């Protein structure tokens, strides 16, 4: 909210966000598009988007004038520049899928929408000319919460095609389900010849604090230079603008709604620290491109009838029955601690063991993970765990629940049921580590 | 696994874990109960539980003798000591509910079971004599994964009764759902006169690395001395044995399956650091006991027909329909990012908005939280979020999904539906903070 006085003045002049206005102070005149007020900050200030693309906050004083110039209310677009192709530089294909990194504020509603084409972001970054020769592929723009498995399949096929002509691939993606997509790509693509780098931004490119530019520069540098034959996520490593982390695609999770360093490795350390200056420092183990023994292969099969069930106290196990009746082929349970669900609760109908057994008997593959996220499930420590395991639940080691879900969908889409069950707790693409790096717990 | 040679010898002599054995080495003779072999470590060593209660690992060399003395196979119990009541010290009631902190290894199965009475742990800690006069209340032992809301209700009533005669209360509890219980108690108890401290242990008391003793000492110190009129969790603050954190009961979560410092504050800092030396250093805001304006009151109502639904890509929104048909009264959705579910996915049947609207129209209270856990949901930033919010989902600010679930169950158990819906996103007992402490992100 603005101050009462400012609010009244804007209302009187019929000025709303998106309007082109002129502010005349004692010292200077400013012209630009009025931007919706940030949640916090000076109640007597207006924020303008100047022609240069920059935002400026202007604190009004008595006597300052505000006039409406025109009614723009259109989406702000970044000015176009040119992206040169410097011969000799490695080739990188950018696949744009939408999300905040390819978005701008829609000044009609004040909300962020994904409208701008990805090229416009690239044109804003002169540094890119020295990193690689870029090829652009614009897929249909989609906010990441709207992604389904068919989008992963399509993306996997595009990545494979792109890798035939490029050293690496950068995928720009909304952050909400970015880690689900990175995990899906890791399972769907085998025999990679170079890095597949998924990146995005937590703050839209037209904000001063946007992480879009640095994330894109780091992702491009990694895709151009790294001899890593894995898929992963490249996002801010901390709250400063000094470096990004490249984290294995199956060991990463969005752990904060808004922070730029929201993406964190779980049960492992990042594969590399990617400096804003172009440096790459390897901090973990990874598969090298020259060690690949198989040809690049896409295994896009996916069974969407897999469910993730998060357990909580009083959770009626009838939910398992529901998925059996809906002919689901796999269920990943997010249990408590080392993989618990109730065995002897005070009321019989909250006991989960026999429902799990019924699902397994009906041919459903049931996997157990932990809602702690960090650490490993283990069916040997407590008697109750053994009972759950004996009922047929497969304990998924130190896999994230979300990754176990995608792995199971992928397994059931490519293998027979018994094989899928056998492979669920075996490492395939780095999703399970033999010993978790317990010290890499924040 | 032991080495082949050691395995063969044990088998030949019919020795299994739980047997009382004698080991004669060149230097010394050891007698004790054979403990199941730890997962890692020397393959030629046996671990004995000595009469003193300590465990010892003995590496066997050629010529060493191992004999079976007897077949104990019974639960090891700690030797009894006496707990003095020093007049003048504050009174603390200990309510024991089970879990690892009140458990020992069952040498018949090798698994951890909750069998030992909580007094036995207290007797092992001479420091306690100088902290408080303890009253013991042993409830039926229950592993924490087996807890249901009736256990919370019973516990709340016991706590209220105990507070009438004690300065504070310590509750020993299994760690798996400890934070669900601490949240439930926070909502069920109002007008507290002193601290209600839930504690537990990640490693059983008969292990050298057990956190049971320090957690219990710190919890007791806090319950005896602190002028805090809130419920919270007191567990290891880091991986050393120097201090515990006291964290508000509605802002805490088990974030690791096995680490002793698994319990972490989310979107806030701990209320206090409790030193192993008895010191208390306040690090956050809290309600002081002398500021209470209402009398101690139990509001134990709870509606178990509330569900927590974690969203993931491809998740069929028919799950909402299922809960409507089962006559659920509340649903908390764990959305992605700032509280997203699909609005325009590639396939229409994955769109969640109209299912949420249908639930709300059917009288179900629907709340939105984030699977990021850290940070805040916000229905204003993206257009898709507004659509979900317009369908009737209540955005639960920076509340943890698990806490929002328990709050909604509690609200629907004590208030009419419209009141419950109104209160869901308003702070009641510290479960919502006006501004999240963004820097307290690990």
pLDDT in tens, B314-352: 999 999 999 999 999 999 999 999 999 999 898 888 999
What are the chain A neighbours of B370 within 8 Å (beta carbons)? 257
Question: Whose CA is closest to B378, among A106, A2, A258, A99?
Answer: A258
Ramachandran region of residue A219, left (φ > 0), alpha (ψ -120 to 50) or beta? Answer: alpha
A332: nearest Cα among A410, A236, A253, A437: A410
- CA B362, distance to chain mean position in Å, is 35
Thinking of the domain A4-70, which architecture would CATH place it in? Roll (2.30)
B384 compared with A365, residue with greater pLDDT? A365
Q: Which CATH number fits domain B306-423: 3.40.50.2300, 1.10.760.10, 3.90.226.10, 3.40.50.40?
A: 3.40.50.40
Q: State the catalytic residue, choosing from A93, A97, A172, A175.
A: A175
Residues of A (331-360) whose Cβ lies below 8 Å from B: 334-338, 340-347, 350
Percent of chain B with pLDDT over 70: 88
Shortest CB distance from A375 goes to which of B258, B318, B341?
Answer: B258
Among B255, B343, B385, the residue with its CB nearest the CB of A146 is B343
- Asked if the Cβ–Cβ distance from A373 to B143 is below 8 Å, we say no
A54 at B interface, C-beta within 8 A: no
Closest-CA residue in chain B for A183?
Answer: B313
Cβ distance A313 to B343 less than 8 Å, yes or no, reads no
Rounded to the nearest angstrom, the minimum Cα separation between B316 and chain A is 9
Distance (Å, whole) CA B398 – CA B401: 9
Check CB contact of A368 with chain B, cutoff 8 Å: no
A55-92: pLDDT as tens digits: 677 888 888 888 888 665 444 444 444 567 788 999 99
Structure tokens at A133: 């020769």
Q: Say whether residue B390 is in contact with chain A using an 8 A CB cutoff.
A: no
Helix, coil or strand: residue A360? helix
| Least confident stretch, A96-105, A157-166, A280-289, B397-406 | A96-105
Distance from the Cα of residue B387 to its chain's centroid = 36
Q: Which helix (H) or strand (E) holds B223?
A: helix B212-225
Segment B184-189 shows an average pLDDT of 98
- The residue among B161 and B380 whose pLDDT is bigger is B161
Q: What is the pLDDT of residue B37?
A: 63
Q: Does B312 contact A151 at a Cβ distance shorter than 8 Å? A: no
The answer to whether A346 touches A323, Cβ cutoff 8 Å, is: no
Grade residue B141 by pLDDT with cuts at 50, 70 and 90.
Answer: confident
Distances (CA, A) of A357 to A377, B11, B51, B171: 19, 34, 42, 34
- pLDDT of B370 over the 60 cut: yes
**What is residue A72's predicted lDDT score, i.e. its pLDDT?**
52
Question: Which among A150, A312, A380 has the least Cβ separation from residue B308?
Answer: A312
Which of A75, A113, A146 is the best substitution to test chain B (most B C-beta atoms within 10 A)? A146
Given CB atoms, is B363 within the 8 Å cutoff of chain A?
Answer: no
Asked whether residue B53 carries a pLDDT value surpassing 70, the answer given is no
Q: Between vectors from CA A89 to CA A85 and to CA A92, what angle results, nearest 5°? A: 75
pLDDT band at B437 (very low <50, low <70, confident <90, very high): low
What 3-state DSSP class applies to B5? helix
Averaged pLDDT, B88-104: 86
Q: B323 to chain A: nearest residue by CA? A: A319
Q: Do A346 and B142 touch (CB under 8 A)?
A: yes
Gap between the Cα atoms of B376 and A207, Å rounded: 19
User: In Å, how far is A385's CA from the nearest CA of chain B?
Assistant: 9
Residue B81 pLDDT greater than 70, yes or no: no
What token pair was written down for A167?
């050293």
Average pLDDT over residues B384-412: 96
**Closest approach of chain B CAs to the CA of A31, in angstroms?**
25
pLDDT of residue A398: 97
Residue A94: pLDDT above 70?
yes
- Tell me the chain B residues in contact with residue A343 when contact means C-beta distances shorter than 8 Å: 143, 145-146
Quote the mean pLDDT of chain B.
Answer: 88
CA quadruple A310, A314, A320, A325: dihedral positive or negative? negative
Q: Write out the catalytic residue numbers of B.
A: 100, 175-176, 254
What's the CATH fold of domain A306-424? Rossmann fold (3.40.50)
To the nearest whole number, what is the mean pLDDT of chain A? 88
- Top-confidence residue, B43 or B269: B269
Tokens linked to B288? 């002081």
Contacts of B402 in chain A (CB under 8 A): 312
Domain chopping of chain B, boundaries: 4-71, 91-298, 306-423
For a pLDDT cut of 90, what percent of chain A falls above it?
Answer: 62
Q: How far is B332 from chain A (nearest CA, A)?
A: 12
Q: Classify B4-71 by CATH class.
A: mainly beta
Question: What integer pLDDT is reported at residue B176 of this predicted model?
Answer: 97
pLDDT of residue A361: 98
| pLDDT tens-digit readout, A321-378 | 999 999 999 999 999 999 999 999 988 889 999 999 999 999 999 999 999 999 999 9
CA distance A287 to A297: 16
User: Is the Cβ–Cβ distance between B167 and B104 less than 8 Å?
Assistant: no
- Give the number of other CB atoms < 10 A from CB of residue B80: 9
Q: Which residue has the tokens 């993931």?
A: B312
Mapping DSSP to helix (H, G, I), strand (E, B) and coil, where does residue B164 land?
coil
DSSP conformation class of B380 = T
The pLDDT of residue A53: 58
Contact between B340 and A112 using a beta-carbon 8 Å cutoff: no
Query: Residue A232 and residue A169: Cα distance in Å, rounded?
Result: 11
- A307 to chain B nearest CA, in Å? 7
Given an 8 Å threshold on Cβ–Cβ distance, is B382 in contact with A180?
Answer: no
Predicted confidence (pLDDT) per residue in B280-292, tens digit: 999 999 999 888 8
Q: Which of A361-375, B63-77, B226-240 has the lowest mean pLDDT?
A: B63-77
User: Chain A contacts of B385, Cβ < 8 Å?
Assistant: 111
**Chain A residues in contact with B317 (beta carbon < 8 A):** none
Greatest mean pLDDT range, A341-345, A393-397, B236-240, B430-434: A393-397
Which pLDDT belongs to residue B5? Answer: 83
Percentage with pLDDT > 90 across chain B: 62
Whether A4-70 shares its CATH topology with A91-298 is answered no
Tokens representing B153 are: 């209700």
Give contacts of A 288-307 with B, CB under 8 A.
Answer: 304, 306-307
The CATH number of domain A91-298, selected from 3.40.50.1170, 3.50.30.30, 3.40.462.40, 1.10.3720.10? 3.40.50.1170
Residue A59 is predicted with a pLDDT of 82
Query: Of A102 and A261, which is predicted with more confidence?
Result: A261
Strands A65-70 and A20-24, sheet pairing: antiparallel
Which residues of B are less than 8 Å from A310 in CB distance?
Answer: 308, 310, 334
> Which among A110, A113, A115, A112 has a CA at the least distance from the CA of A37?
A110
pLDDT at A54: 59
Running DSSP on this structure, what letter comes out for residue A146?
G
Phi, psi of A9 (to 5 degrees): -65, -45
Query: What does the radius of gyration of chain A's CA atoms come to, in whole angstroms?
Result: 25
Residue A102 backbone phi and psi in degrees, to 5: -115, 35
Answer yes or no: is pLDDT of B74 > 90: no
User: In whole angstroms, what is the distance from residue B364 CA to residue A18 CA?
Assistant: 38
Q: For residues B292 and B191, is the Cβ–Cβ distance under 8 A?
A: yes
Per-residue pLDDT of A302-320, as tens digits, reads 999 999 999 999 999 999 9
Q: Average of pLDDT values for B223-232?
A: 97
- B308 and A310 within 8 Å at the Cβ level: the answer is yes
Distance of CA B221 to the CA centre of its chain: 19
Q: Do B374 and A259 touch (CB under 8 A)?
A: yes
| pLDDT above 80 for A42 | no
Half-sphere exposure of A194 (CA within 13 A, CB side): 25
Nearest to A383 among B109, B372, B385 (CB): B109
B327 touching chain A per CB within 8 A: no
- A337 vs B311: CA distance, rounded Å: 21
Mean pLDDT of B260-280: 95
Query: B243 to each of A320, A343, B218, B238, B246, how far by Cα in Å?
Result: 42, 34, 8, 7, 10
Query: Rounded to an integer, what distance in angstroms lies between the CA atom of residue A16 and that of residue B345?
Result: 32
Comparing alpha-carbon positions, the chain A residue that sits nearest to B377 is A257
CA distance A269 to A285: 9
How does pLDDT run across B206-226, given as a tens digit for each residue?
777 889 889 999 999 999 999
Going by C-beta distance under 8 Å and a sequence separation of 6 or more, which residues neighbour residue B17? B34, B35, B36, B37, B107, B110
* Residue A107: per-residue pLDDT: 47
Structure tokens at B407: 């709050």
Contact by Cβ (8 Å): A58, A48: yes
Residue A62: name the closest of A5, A100, A20, A115 by CA.
A5
Is the pLDDT score of A390 beyond 80? yes
How are strands ordered across the β-sheet holding A168-172? A133-138, A91-96, A168-172, A196-199, A231-236, A243-248, A272-275, A280-282
Furthest C-alpha separation in chain B: 80
Query: Model confidence over A167-210: pLDDT tens digits?
Result: 999 999 999 999 999 999 999 999 999 999 999 999 887 777 88
Strand pairing of B45-49 and B55-59? Answer: antiparallel
CA gap A70, B226 in Å, rounded: 62
**CA B166 – CA A134 distance, rounded (Å):** 71
Neighbours of A363 (CB within 10 A): 12
Does A304 sit within 8 Å of B259, measured CB to CB?
no
| pTM as predicted | 0.84
Chain B: nearest CA to A106, how far in angstroms?
9
Confidence of residue A418 (pLDDT cuts 50, 70, 90): very high
Q: Do B375 and A257 touch (CB under 8 A)?
A: yes
């Amino acid at each position: 909210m603005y101050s009462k006085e400012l609010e009244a003045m804007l209302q009187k002049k019929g000025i709303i966000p998106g309007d082109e206005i002129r502010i005349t102070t004692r010292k200077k005149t400013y012209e630009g598009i009025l931007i919706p007020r940030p949640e916090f900050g000076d109640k007597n200030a207006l924020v303008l988007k100047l022609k240069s693309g920059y935002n400026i906050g202007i604190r009004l004083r008595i006597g300052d004038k505000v006039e409406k110039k025109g009614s723009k209310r259109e989406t702000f677009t970044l000015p176009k520049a040119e992206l040169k192709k410097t011969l000799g530089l490695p080739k990188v294909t950018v696949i744009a899928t939408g999300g905040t990194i390819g978005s701008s504020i829609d000044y009609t509603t004040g909300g962020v929408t994904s409208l701008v084409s990805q090229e416009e972001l690239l044109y804003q970054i002169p540094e890119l000319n020295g990193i690689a020769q870029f090829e652009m592929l614009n897929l249909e723009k989609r906010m990441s919460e709207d992604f389904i498995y068919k989008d992963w399949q399509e993306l996997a096929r595009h990545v494979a095609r792109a890798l035939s002509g490029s050293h690496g691939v950068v995928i720009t993606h909304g952050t909400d389900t970015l880690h689900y997509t990175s995990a899906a790509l890791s399972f769907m693509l085998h025999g990679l010849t170079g890095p597949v780098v998924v990146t995005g931004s937590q703050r839209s490119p037209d904000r001063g604090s946007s992480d879009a530019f640095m994330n894109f520069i780091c992702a491009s540098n990694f895709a151009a230079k790294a001899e890593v034959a894995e898929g992963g996520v490249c996002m801010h490593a901390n709250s400063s603008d000094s470096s990004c982390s490249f984290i294995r695609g199956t060991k990463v999770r969005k752990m904060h709604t808004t922070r730029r360093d929201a993406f964190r490795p779980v049960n492992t350390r990042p594969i590399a620290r990617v400096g804003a200056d172009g440096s790459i420092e390897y901090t973990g183990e990874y598969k090298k491109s020259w060690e690949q023994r198989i040809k690049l292969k896409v295994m896009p099969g996916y069974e969407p009838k897999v469910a993730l069930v998060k357990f909580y106290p009083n959770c009626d196990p009838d939910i398992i029955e529901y998925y059996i009746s809906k002919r689901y082929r796999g269920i990943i349970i997010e249990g408590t601690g080392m993989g618990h669900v109730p065995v002897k609760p005070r009321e019989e109908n909250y006991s989960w063991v026999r429902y799990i057994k019924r699902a397994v008997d009906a041919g459903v593959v049931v996997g157990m993970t932990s809602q702690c996220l960090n650490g490993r499930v283990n069916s040997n420590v407590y008697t109750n765990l053994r009972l759950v395991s004996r009922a047929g639940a497969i304990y998924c080691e130190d896999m994230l629940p979300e990754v176990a879900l995608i792995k199971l969908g992928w397994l059931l889409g490519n293998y027979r049921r018994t094989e899928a069950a056998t492979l669920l707790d075996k490492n395939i693409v780095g999703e399970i580590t033999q010993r978790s790096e317990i010290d890499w717990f924040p």
